[in-house]
Amino acid sequence: MSAETAEFPLPRRDALNTPYWQSLEEGHLSFQRCGECGKAWLPPRRECPHCLSPEWRWERAGGQARLVSWVVYHIAYHAAFKDRLPYTVAVVELAEGPRLISNIVGAGDPEVLRIDQDLRLAIEHEHGVAVPRFRPA
């Protein structure tokens, strides 16, 4: 199966994560914050991962982040990603605290990346879905 004929893996939307995807479509990234302990998190979940409180709210991220870790893929583990090789997958920490797994784009050579590097949100559209990616600031 070629990358052109491989079915692209799209996110599954549900009542819990729809606000996350909707915010990306509107041009910003949102995350949840606990109403009890104040911790923030991604991906969406029904209770705080720190204190298990069901009291939380959505907040808008400012778009600033830092690079925690990354890996450069040289093998496509799904046929839909074959034409992207090599590509960078990273753990990114938003300035507001939550971490997420994303891609680093616009860096050119991944050898220039470094731990704690400043990043900036870059929402890109792919297969009709707005996705959060990050560029070096």
Considering only CA atoms, which of 110, 111, 97 is closest in space to residue 59? 97
Is the pLDDT at 110 greater than 90, yes or no? no
Q: For residues 56 and 36, what is the distance between their CA atoms, to the nearest angstrom?
A: 8
For the chain, the domains span 18-136
Q: For residues 18 and 41, what is the distance between their CA atoms, to the nearest angstrom?
A: 15
- pLDDT confidence tier of residue 136, bands split at 50, 70 and 90: very high
DSSP 8-state secondary structure symbol assigned to residue 42: S
State pLDDT tens for residues 31-81.
999 999 999 999 999 999 999 999 999 999 999 999 999 999 999 999 999
Taking the CA atoms of 38, 36, 16 and 79 in sequence, report the sign of the dihedral they define. Answer: positive
Taking the CA atoms of 69, 132, 18 and 50 in sequence, report the sign of the dihedral they define. Answer: positive
pLDDT of residue 27: 97
* Beta strand ranges found along 1-137 (DSSP E): 30-34, 40-41, 56-60, 64-73, 87-94, 99-103, 118-126, 129-136
